[in-house]
Structure 1
Amino acid sequence: MKLQSIKLVYFSPTGTTKTVVESVMRGIDADSIKLERIDLTKPATRQKPLQTGENDLLLVGVPVYMGRVPEVVQAWLQSIKAQNTPAVCIVVYGNRDYGDALIELKDILAADGCLPIAAGAFIGEHSFSSAETPIAADRPDLRDISQAEAFGCKIKDKLDAIQSVAEIGGLNVPGEFPYRGETKLWDVDFITVNSDCNQCQLCADICPAGAIDVENSRLINQEKCITCCTCIKNCPQQARTIKHGPVHDASVRLNTLFKEPKQPELFY
């Protein structure tokens, strides 16, 4: 099957999902094909609709939030207008459980008009991970990246083996419907900003939810905040940390209960 373009779509506040989907893309090795990257981490991108056809490949990656596709990107994903577009579904989770996120992502894309041909659940460092309570620290690692590239190679082989989208069969992935878990995230004051903050406003610029005041970065809209911790992990002054409370307690539980490294699960 000959592709005209590949649409690489990802929501990746802390960069782990982006690393995985870019690694899969390298495995597909489609240098001669037009590539479009669509970074849903930027709020402005989520205002632009997407249309795809049967000669495109749609590769979508999202992190797992509470065992589900993040609510902040659901409406955009559901608005995709596809016409028998081959699609690859990827979720990235913090070594606990990917719940029903993979089947939910597959169902969303299928309802849009896509034909899912492959899916994968990969591990990335948890957003609550810290030096004090590491959770899947430094994942995806070199082995994860190698597996993602190999996954891309198999996707390429599968596409090369068919003449048209009519040959794409059904794809089965783990999960239940109705989906379990909550899409609504915590409304909690969990970030401490210390005196090292120099109001550089980087955190406000990179916040995927627009939850940080653009004039005073110490002010956080808790209702908008999605607890992704990208502002904490990217602060150049290391002025932001998780304060003691529900999020810190959750990080301790995750660090204690989920130390055994899980491995990617792939489906074709």
Structure 2
Amino acid sequence: MNIAIFYFSATGITEIISNHIAKILEGEGNSVKQTNIIAPDSRPSHVDFLEFDASIFGFPVFEGRPPTVAEEWMITLNGRNQKCSMFFTYGARDLELAHQVTYYLLTQANFQVVLSAEFIGKHSFNVGEGFSLAEGRPNQLDFDIATDFALHSISRFQKEFEFNIDLSKFTYKPKRIRESRGVMAHLYPSRGKDDCSMCNLCEKECPVKAFDAILGETNRKICITCMHCVTICPDKVIHIGEISQIYKTFTDQLGLTEDVVEKKRSKIIF
């Protein structure tokens, strides 16, 4: 089969899972084309899905749902009744409406969703000083689930299969970006006084065009704090503030002790 994988990966975790899935698919004799839709010019305004036999969509979970730009992009698609599966990566918090939102948008875009999965990966805020959640994930157990997900996807792509996510109590509402204030404002990336080679990669690849390479600041009204600019900066001069207090509040309110996080498991939604 000729399979497309479209994924959004800001800090590399979703890409790691996508690469593993692609490796398994190719090992089974399939042809795979991967596309990271993180940068604005990487999200094609038109995709001819007739070029593929099936597709897989992979997104990180930001505040309980896919990134806003990923949702906006899915709305533009026409799957032409093609089968697809979907997966999510998250930093041990919660997926909340991620499955429902994505299932709704893909089915509205004329896809037949046949499978879904969720994978634990280190939190994107781990790039900040004082924040360490699900560090070391995905681990081998997570990759084993990713292998099973790839194999089950192939199986369901090749035969008729009914898969449903209950949307009876779900109403889709586009998410609005709100500027964070107080201690949460420490999550906004900026460039320090360190030497910068001005490669402009931060500005070019910002998914919402929020980062200004000249100013070394992000537009807080549209920034989604995905931490892509922090992750990809070759000079390592883009940082976020000290966020140990955010980490303590985050983990205390959600009961995310080290033991709880360690016991969290990736899984397939059949």
Whether TM exceeds 0.5 here: the answer is yes
> Pairwise mapping of residues 125-140 of structure 1 onto structure 2 (< 5 A)?
125-129=122-126, 130=128, 132-140=130-138
What is the match of residue 87 of structure 1?
84
Query: How many residue pairs get matched?
Result: 256
SS in 1 for 2:170: coil
For residues 72 and 130 of structure 2, the distance between their equivalents in structure 1, rounded to whole angstroms, comes to 36
What is the match of residue 246 of structure 2?
250
* Pair 1:184 & 2:176 matched: yes
For residues 217 and 197 of structure 1, the distance between their equivalents in structure 2, rounded to whole angstroms, comes to 14
Letter of the 2:232 partner, please give it.
N
Letter of the 2:162 partner, please give it.
G
| TM-score under structure 2 length normalisation | 0.83
For residues 93 and 173 of structure 1, the distance between their equivalents in structure 2, rounded to whole angstroms, comes to 21
What is the match of residue 149 of structure 2?
151
> Structure 1 residue runs of 4+, over 6 Å off?
none
Ranges in structure 2 where 5+ consecutive residues have no aligned partner? none
Q: 8 Å contact 1:92–1:124 — kept in the other structure?
A: yes
For residues 156 and 31 of structure 1, the distance between their equivalents in structure 2, rounded to whole angstroms, comes to 9
Q: CA RMSD in A?
A: 2.7
Q: Deviations over 1:209-228 (max 9, x none)?
A: 221224x1513222231101
Change in Cα spacing, 1:78 to 1:234, as seen in structure 2 (3 Å) is: same
Change in Cα spacing, 1:150 to 1:100, as seen in structure 2 (3 Å) is: same
Q: What is the Cα deviation at residue 255 of structure 1?
A: 4.2
What is the match of residue 266 of structure 2?
264
Q: 8 Å contact 1:42–1:206 — kept in the other structure?
A: yes
Q: Deviations over 1:30-54 (max 9, x none)?
A: 6644432222101012242123249
Ranges in structure 1 where 5+ consecutive residues have no aligned partner? none
What is the match of residue 162 of structure 2?
169
For residues 149 and 47 of structure 1, the distance between their equivalents in structure 2, rounded to whole angstroms, comes to 28
Q: What is the Cα deviation at residue 197 of structure 1?
A: 3.7
SS in 2 for 1:177: coil
What is the match of residue 62 of structure 1?
59
Q: 8 Å contact 1:133–1:255 — kept in the other structure?
A: no
Q: What is the Cα deviation at residue 175 of structure 1?
A: 9.8
Change in Cα spacing, 1:249 to 1:174, as seen in structure 2 (3 Å) is: farther
For residues 54 and 110 of structure 1, the distance between their equivalents in structure 2, rounded to whole angstroms, comes to 19
* Pair 1:99 & 2:96 matched: yes
Q: What is the Cα deviation at residue 178 of structure 1?
A: 2.7
Letter of the 1:15 partner, please give it.
G
SS in 2 for 1:29: helix
Q: Deviations over 1:147-204 (max 9, x none)?
A: 20122122223345x2xxxx22133379951369x82234245335322142433322
SS in 2 for 1:250: helix
Q: Deviations over 1:212-261 (max 9, x none)?
A: 224x15132222311011222333443333225xx764333234432322
Letter of the 1:153 partner, please give it.
L
Share of identical aligned residues, percent? 23
| TM-score under structure 1 length normalisation | 0.83
SS in 2 for 1:96: coil
Q: Deviations over 1:4-38 (max 9, x none)?
A: x2111001111111111222222333664443222
For residues 217 and 136 of structure 1, the distance between their equivalents in structure 2, rounded to whole angstroms, comes to 33
Q: 8 Å contact 2:7–2:57 — kept in the other structure?
A: yes
SS in 2 for 1:81: coil
